[in-house]
Amino acid sequence: MAAKSFDLIVIGAGPGGYVAAIRGAQLGMSVAIVEREHLGGICLNWGCIPTKAMLRSSEVFHLMHRAKEFGLKADNVGYDLDAVVKRSRQVAGQLSGGIGHLMKKNKVTVFMGAATIPAKGKVSVKTDKGAEELTAKNIVLATGARARELPGLEADGDLVWTYKHALEPKHMPKKLLVIGSGAIGIEFASFYNTLGADTTVVEVMDRVLPVEDAEISDFAKKSFEKQGMKIMQKAMVKQLDRAKGKVTAHIEVGGKVEKHEFDTVISAVGIVGNVEGLGLEELGVKVDRTHVVTDEFCRTGVDGLYAIGDIAGAPWLAHKASHEGVMVADLIVGKHAHPVKPETIAGCTYCHPQVASVGYTEAKAKELGYEIKVGRFPFIGNGKAIALGEQEGMIKTIFDAKTGELLGAHMVGAEVTELIQGYVVGRQLETTEEDLMNTVFPHPTLSEMMHESVLDAYGRVIHM
Question: Do 133 and 118 meet the contact criterion of CB atoms below 8 Å apart?
Answer: no
162: nearest Cα among 143, 147, 184, 175: 147
Residue of 171, 338, 443, 451 with catalytic role: 443
* Cα separation, 153 vs 237, whole angstroms: 8
Q: Show the CA angle centred on residue 421, arms to residues 415 and 426, nearest 5°.
A: 140
441: nearest Cα among 453, 428, 429: 453
Question: Do 447 and 441 meet the contact criterion of CB atoms below 8 Å apart?
Answer: yes
Q: How many CB atoms lie within 10 A of CB 240?
A: 21
Catalytic, 443? Answer yes
Conformation bin of residue 284: beta by default, left when phi > 0, alpha when psi is -120 to 50: left
Residues facing 160 on adjacent strands: 265
Active site members? 443
